[in-house]
């Protein structure tokens, strides 16, 4: 956890009591992504697994579609930079207007994708059903793994899971970055995501749906709330959106048929 946290002095006040202590806070660093030697973007992030982050960012932007598209990848945490070389030229490095910064909350600053782009792929979305008890147990495992969150309270978590458990997990100060990190890991490891569950600690806004759609993920499970636009996109895109997943409780906002009730599991 040394990579992700820093000890700082803090004055702790509780009523009339004041005490100087040391506490862990999460690290935030700028990391610059170079695409084919062009400076593409600087992300403010938790500086761990920056290669995953860079690849996940490019994947979410639609620039990198699979591991084959990446010819070379080099991350230098000290230099706070990741160099990505793609097999062919991409449309992006020609159109980028120079230095760009994306802060801790940002997911998609360079472009925006209309849900219509994905509509043709609707029928290919996974038909697998999931028992609601699995959602509960995955969320339990998800929270157990949130080490940096427990130490600092200052990060979001993201994960990819199947029926056997969580297959990718990461944390970042940005909820979009955390998701890009697990997507980047799956791209680099050649793990297919079209039958996986995307887990997030954060609110589900439209941009999270766009990321899931790109990765052809059929189910999103969040501990937190969705927006109306994310519910609409989930319905349009054939994605099951589960919010407020806490213990055995959850709200299912779209394509509810994928979440099997506890009673039908025992049949």
- Residues contributing to the site for a copy of itself (CB under 8 A): 5-6, 8, 10-16, 18, 23, 25-30, 42, 44, 97, 99-109, 111-112, 132, 152-154, 173-176, 203, 205-207, 224-231, 244, 248-253, 256, 259, 261-263
Q: Catalytic annotation on 45?
A: no
Give the shortest CB-45-to-a copy of itself separation in angstroms.
10
Residues with Cβ within 8 Å of residue 263, at least 6 apart in sequence: none
The first and second tokens of residue 160, run together, are 């990819």
Residue 248 to residues 201, 219, 244, 253, Cα–Cα distance (Å):
16, 17, 10, 16
When the beta carbons of 173 and 215 are compared against a copy of itself, the nearer one is 173
Query: Is residue 95 helix, strand or coil?
Result: helix
Give the closest residue to 221 by CA, choosing from 260, 190, 251, 261.
251
When the beta carbons of 191 and 225 are compared against a copy of itself, the nearer one is 225
Residues with Cβ within 8 Å of residue 39, at least 6 apart in sequence: 32, 33, 96, 98, 99
Give the shortest CB-205-to-a copy of itself separation in angstroms.
4
Give the shortest CB-84-to-a copy of itself separation in angstroms.
21
When the beta carbons of 73 and 138 are compared against a copy of itself, the nearer one is 138
Catalytic residue among 35, 106, 161, 259: 106
Which positions are catalytic? 106
């Amino acid at each position: 956890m040394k990579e992700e946290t820093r000890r700082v002095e803090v004055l702790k006040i509780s009523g009339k009591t004041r005490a100087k202590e040391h506490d862990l806070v999460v690290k935030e660093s700028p990391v610059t992504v170079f695409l084919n030697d062009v400076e593409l973007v600087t992300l403010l992030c938790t500086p761990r697994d920056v290669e995953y982050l860079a690849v996940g960012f490019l994947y979410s932007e639609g620039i990198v579609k699979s591991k084959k598209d990446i010819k070379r990848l080099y991350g230098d945490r000290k230099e706070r930079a990741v160099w990505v070389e793609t097999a062919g030229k991409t449309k992006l490095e020609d159109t980028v207007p120079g230095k760009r910064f994306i802060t801790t909350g940002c997911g998609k600053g360079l472009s925006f994708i209309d849900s219509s782009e994905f509509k043709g792929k609707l029928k290919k979305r996974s038909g697998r059903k999931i028992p609601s008890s699995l959602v509960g147990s995955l969320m339990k495992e998800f929270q157990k793994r949130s080490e940096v969150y427990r130490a600092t309270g200052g990060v979001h978590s993201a994960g990819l899971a199947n029926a056997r458990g969580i297959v990718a997990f990461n944390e970042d100060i940005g909820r979009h970055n955390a998701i890009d990190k697990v997507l980047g890991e799956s791209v680099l490891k050649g793990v297919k995501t079209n039958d996986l569950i995307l887990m997030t600690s954060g609110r589900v806004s439209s941009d999270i749906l766009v990321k899931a759609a790109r990765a052809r993920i059929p189910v999103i499970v969040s501990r937190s709330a969705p927006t109306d636009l994310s519910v609409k996109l989930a319905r349009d895109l054939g994605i099951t959106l589960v919010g407020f997943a806490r213990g055995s409780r959850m709200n299912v906002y779209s394509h509810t048929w994928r979440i099997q009730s506890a009673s039908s599991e025992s049949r």
